[in-house]
Structure 1
Amino acid sequence: MKFSYWMSFARKMANLGFYLTALSSTLFIAMTVFFVKDKMGSYKNLLLVLPVIGFFFALFEYLVDPFFHSYNGSFAFFRLSSFENYSEKFNMCALAVYVALYGSTVSVLALQFVYRYCAVFNPRYIRMFFEGPQFIFSIIYIAFFCFLFFINDLIFNQLDEYSTEYLKNDMMESYGVNVTNVAAFVLVAYDESGHIRIKNTVGLLAMSLELNIQYIIIIYCAVVMSSKMQQKLSTLSEKLQKVHKQFYYVLIFQISVPTVALFFPVFVLFFVPFLDIKISFPTGAILSSFALYPAVDLLILIYISSFYNKAMKDFIKLIWRCGKKNDSRIYATPTANSYMNTNLTS
């Protein structure tokens, strides 16, 4: 197995990402629910959705153990291990859920941009689509795109006879696995005659469209807010202006950092097979950094937003006070030796 080192590296990154995300998600939810005293209205619900999805994304990366491999005019996205007591369909669905959770994180960020846009320019839409029971529209939106990512792989990227023959020798040499014995989604760009394989290509274009819809929403809201927000906010109090600007900058960083560092490189890698370059490369070693994405996203929000700066300080103070109380109890509690000494001297 020529890529055994990179397989081990990817597992370690998945483990690190899961632990960091579990810690940051728990911390973020606790601060949002108990320590953020400023009123954020229904936006708090959207803020809580992101760490929940991020946690499950990191959890599935930890459990599913996915890996990405590029070979000539193809790529394979497969499980390095499987739930042996479950069927092949179950393992395939677990891999598809991981892909769906990846797509849903971008959907949540798109919704947050829409919310901030409405808060500045059309507040009545917040009451119509985000407050109270109407928050179900946000859940439906996220679930819809999550389902599209899920079903896309199951329909368009299943192994067939040609893709199995194309990949089996390289997969055995690179990872010591028989591609027919693992849960895998594949794309082979060209058939034996050199023609584009329609089914795989349609699947890739569908996934690209689903991502591009989110980015079109994000870019539109970001551009309009950047050019017109200052004029619109001039009628509000200084405190509200600061709140709107801070959440705007948070969203810009939350989408730009992972886009430049993670999403864009992956988007490029998806289309590399159409260049038909002679390669055999463990792309999963690069994509393993995805496991860190949810934690980084939350840390950006905590670092930039004054709400969460203050909440973090309050949280640390609470931990410090609890620690001091425990210390004082330890020193104040009489020990067995002190009772014995008292009895001896009396």
Structure 2
Amino acid sequence: MVIYFAATGIFFSAFELVARPFAHNYTGALMFFSLNTDQRFIILSQLAIAIWSGFFTSIISFISIQFFYRCLCLFGGEAARKFDRLPSIIWMGYPLVIASMYAASVYFFCQPDEDSDEYLRNEILRNYNMDIKTIPRFIMRPYDINGDLRWRNIGYFATGLFLIGFHYLVIIYCGLIMHFNMKHELEKFSIPQRKIQRQIFKALILQCMGPTLFLILPAVPLLMSPLIPPSLHIQISWQTGWLYSLIQIFPPFDSIAFMIVVVEYRRVIKKQFSRGTPKNSSIHPSGTGLENDISHIM
């Protein structure tokens, strides 16, 4: 799961080079678009930015799976073994299902129409000197010119809120259970396993902080500003695509978190950079092979 999660973060970052996403917030609207403006591939560019946005939720859902799995390891060893073999493949595919749901909500609920294009035409021309019709785009505009709800766009906001909110509830619930019960449950484990369990729990907390700081928090002002009621008369004109640069910090942050917190990973890294390898470097001071404990619980 650790390798799979790291690979997902790297692919998410690399796919940005293909999708080239950008965003612009205007009063009551968010335009999510691609800088690939070749008219021959406008539909493919739309699909690319929709898929890229789906990886956003797949990362959160995968973290929730890791918290759930760690709960099973801590409180029910037999239940954790159900992650082996075929069930493990199913669980690994779960984030892809969540990513597909979110990408589909973007693609089907946020297709541009004449009203939304006309609303943003001058704003896009003034800021980017581009004709809005030539841009692969999705437009999130929950209110029309009269202040009435546009239910198709509301469907996108509801889907995103549910997918992200549900998985954060799983993370918080499992995290609190492990935090308040870890001391008692760890008495069932050997000393090396206790250390590994504590280290991995800390690493999971850092893993949760990564997407929260670099994915969720930067996206909140982008996604929430269109929901401001028109009656408040708050004028907005933000070129918000630069916030996506923060997302590129996430993949290395995730890997570094595990390398810093989990002692055995630090030992392996030190081995790679040291000239000689100590004879007993793979043996824990207690006389128990720590690698065996890691392979048993991971």
Question: Of the candidates 37, 61, 75, which is equivalent to residue 16 of structure 2?
Answer: 61
Q: How does 1:94-133 map to 2 (within 5 A)?
A: 94-128=48-82, 130-133=83-86
Of stretches 307-316 and 71-80 in structure 1, the one that deviates more from structure 2 is: 307-316
Q: How does 1:177-188 map to 2 (within 5 A)?
A: 177-188=130-141
Matched, 1:237 2:194: no
What's 1:326 paired with?
Answer: none
- Distance in 1 separating the partners of 2:163 and 2:249: 23
What's 2:252 paired with?
Answer: 295
Q: How does 1:308-319 map to 2 (within 5 A)?
A: 308-317=265-274
Contact 1:49/1:108, CA 8 A, preserved across alignment: no
Contact 1:61/1:291, CA 8 A, preserved across alignment: no
- Distance in 1 separating the partners of 2:78 and 2:115: 54
What's 1:158 paired with?
Answer: 111
Contact 2:218/2:243, CA 8 A, preserved across alignment: no
Report Cα offsets for 1:41-71 as digits up to 9, x if no partner. xxxxx00111211111111112221111111
Indicate the RMSD between aligned Cα atoms, in angstroms. Answer: 1.6
Query: What one-letter code is carried by the residue in structure 2 that aligns with 1:66?
Result: P
SS across alignment from 1:75: strand
TM-score between both structures, scaled by the size of structure 1: 0.75
Matched, 1:304 2:257: no
Question: Of the candidates 26, 33, 54, which is equivalent to residue 78 of structure 1?
Answer: 33
What's 2:173 paired with?
Answer: 220
Matched, 1:271 2:224: yes
Contact 2:60/2:211, CA 8 A, preserved across alignment: no
Query: What one-letter code is carried by the residue in structure 2 that aligns with 1:248?
Result: F
TM-score between both structures, scaled by the size of structure 2: 0.87
Report Cα offsets for 1:317-344 as digits up to 9, x if no partner. 3xx57xxxxxxxxxxxxxxxxxxxxxxx
Contact 1:117/1:221, CA 8 A, preserved across alignment: yes
What's 2:163 paired with?
Answer: 210
Q: How many residues are paired up?
A: 272
- Distance in 2 separating the partners of 1:168 and 1:133: 51
Contact 2:28/2:225, CA 8 A, preserved across alignment: yes
SS across alignment from 1:234: helix
- Distance in 2 separating the partners of 1:59 and 1:127: 33
SS across alignment from 1:52: helix
- Distance in 1 separating the partners of 2:189 and 2:140: 52
- Distance in 2 separating the partners of 1:85 and 1:164: 17
Query: What one-letter code is carried by the residue in structure 2 that aligns with 1:314?
Result: K
Contact 2:214/2:249, CA 8 A, preserved across alignment: no
In the alignment, structure 1 segments of 5+ residues that lack a partner are 1-45, 322-346
- Distance in 2 separating the partners of 1:184 and 1:122: 47
Matched, 1:92 2:92: no
Contact 2:142/2:227, CA 8 A, preserved across alignment: yes
What's 1:339 paired with?
Answer: none
Contact 1:74/1:187, CA 8 A, preserved across alignment: yes
SS across alignment from 2:188: coil
Q: By how many angstroms is 1:267 displaced?
A: 2.4
- Distance in 2 separating the partners of 1:296 and 1:111: 19
Q: By how many angstroms is 1:127 displaced?
A: 1.6
Of stretches 267-276 and 298-307 in structure 1, the one that deviates more from structure 2 is: 267-276
SS across alignment from 2:146: coil
What's 2:296 paired with?
Answer: none
Q: By how many angstroms is 1:135 displaced?
A: 1.1
Which has the bigger relative contact order, CA under 8 A and spacing at least 6? 1
> Do the aligned partners of residues 86 and 60 (structure 1) sit closer, same or farther apart at CA in structure 2, a change above 3 Å counting?
farther
Query: What one-letter code is carried by the residue in structure 2 that aligns with 1:80?
Result: L
In the alignment, structure 2 segments of 5+ residues that lack a partner are 277-298
Q: What percentage of aligned pairs have identical amino acids?
A: 26
- Segments ≥4 residues shifted beyond 6 Å: none
